[in-house]
Amino acid sequence: MTKTYNVTAKRWARGWELHIDGVGVTQTSTLSAADATAREYIALALDIDDESSFDVHVVPQLDAALAEQVKKAREQVREAERLQREAAIRQRDVARKLRSGGLSGREIAKLLDVSAQRVSQLIGRQAPKGAVAGLTTRAKKAAARTR
pLDDT at 128 (0 to 100): 42
Q: Is the pLDDT of residue 45 over 80?
A: yes
Residue 114: count of CB within 10 angstroms of its CB: 15
Q: Is the pLDDT of residue 116 over 70?
A: yes
pLDDT at 143 (0 to 100): 54
Residue 96: count of CB within 10 angstroms of its CB: 15
Question: What is the average pLDDT value for the chain, to the nearest integer?
Answer: 88
Residues facing residue 6 across a β-bridge? 57
Q: At 55, which helix (H) or strand (E)?
A: strand 54-60
- Label residue 141 by pLDDT band (50, 70, 90): low
pLDDT at 1 (0 to 100): 84
pLDDT at 137 (0 to 100): 59
The SS3 call for residue 50 is coil
pLDDT at 125 (0 to 100): 58
Report pTM: 0.57
Q: Is the pLDDT of residue 18 over 80?
A: yes
Residues facing residue 56 across a β-bridge? 5
Condensed to tens digits (0 to 9), the pLDDT of residues 62-113 reads 999 999 999 999 999 999 999 999 999 999 999 999 999 999 999 999 999 9
Kindly state the average pLDDT of the residues 106-126: 90
| Pairing relationship of beta strands 15-20 and 24-28 according to DSSP bridges | antiparallel
- Label residue 131 by pLDDT band (50, 70, 90): very low
